[in-house]
Amino acid sequence: MKQVFACVDGSRVTESVCDASVWVATRVDVPLTFLHALEHENAPVAGDLSGSIGLGAREDLLSEMIELEAQKAALELKQGKLVLEAVSNRAREKGVDQIQSMQRHGSLTETLSEFEEQIRVLVIGRQGEAHEAFSNAIGSHIESVIRTSNRPVLVVAEGFRTPTRFMLAYDGSETANKALQLVSESPLLNALECHLVAVKTQSSGAIEDALERASAQLHIAGFSVSTTLLEGAVVDSLIEYQKTQAIDLTIMGAYGHSRIRQFFVGSQTTRMLANSMTPLLLLR
């Protein structure tokens, strides 16, 4: 059975990840799984110190380092279990009955790939513990998770609130049409106020016709749609629209171009991740 998977690590964004995953699981009526991944970095061993402190002393130092690493791993395991217990209790208090929690050793991306077929929606924080001191920083796993996942990924920051209106950022691309299909077919966004927004650029082509077709599809799906065509820099225009229209959730296709092209022209997805005022629901 498909489930909502929520990645938690004990950082400040963990409560928002929990609340967002509860919202999704409740709306689409599927179980909720909390995942805590333990990624152990292999710290480099210090260079050859035998000439300065003696071979025996170096062996003692290495033994002590190994013992400290083992203690650190045990503490991380314990901390992870406490985090999973806390978010499970929070989700249960919010009315979710079907809850599972798991810890896995290894890369988060590899772990999620292992469970790909079970994931209905993946929820992850924009910043983990390593980046939470920087307000516009993006967690090191975000891009790789989004690029490798074929499932919708909901990226949240601190302060998640239940959405009442959402913006579908539309450009007529394949990934944008996948997002349009998700919105049209999924119960996730039923009865929410819908804003269909495109930004006209030199490379956008005949976006007006595509926007009109997208609006018609959403109307058929039962949405009351406010359709807007903006002009200007894509990310700046979308962020400004989020602010002026009090948007709670933004939906868009993700990483529609190759890494080589993004090296030269940049990625709208990455800039939106760094600057968005709302959670982002992304589809590849």
pLDDT one-digit tens code per residue, 200-216? 987 666 799 999 999 99
**CB–CB of 138/155 below 8 Å?**
no
Residues, the chain, total? 284
**CB–CB of 103/36 below 8 Å?**
yes
Question: What is the CATH topology of the domain spanning 163-284?
Answer: Rossmann fold (3.40.50)
Domain made up of 1-42+77-162: CATH architecture = 3-Layer(aba) Sandwich (3.40)
Write down the domain spans for the chain: 1-42+77-162, 163-284
Banded model confidence at residue 60, pLDDT cuts 50, 70, 90: confident
* Residues 259-281, mean pLDDT to the nearest whole number: 72
pLDDT surpasses 50 at 112? yes
**CB–CB of 141/113 below 8 Å?**
no
In this structure, what token pair is assigned to residue 162? 């239940």
| 151-201: pLDDT as tens digits | 999 999 999 999 999 999 999 988 899 999 999 999 999 999 999 999 998
Q: Considering Cα of 15, then 17, then 18, then 23, what sign does the dihedral take? A: positive
**CB–CB of 273/126 below 8 Å?**
yes
| 26-39: pLDDT as tens digits | 999 999 999 999 98
Question: Is 191 exposed, middle or buried (CB count within 10 Å of its CB: 0-12, 13-18, 19+)?
Answer: exposed
Q: Where are the alpha helices (DSSP H) in 115-221?
A: 142-148, 174-185, 207-220
Instruction: Enter the DSSP assignment of 152.
Output: -
| 126-143: pLDDT as tens digits | 975 444 444 444 566 888
pLDDT surpasses 50 at 266? no
Decide whether 1-42+77-162 matches 163-284 in CATH topology.
yes
> Which residue, among 178, 174, 113, 179, has the nearest Cα to 147 in the 3D structure?
113
Q: Which single residue is written with the structure tokens 């390593």?
A: 130
pLDDT score of 139: 65
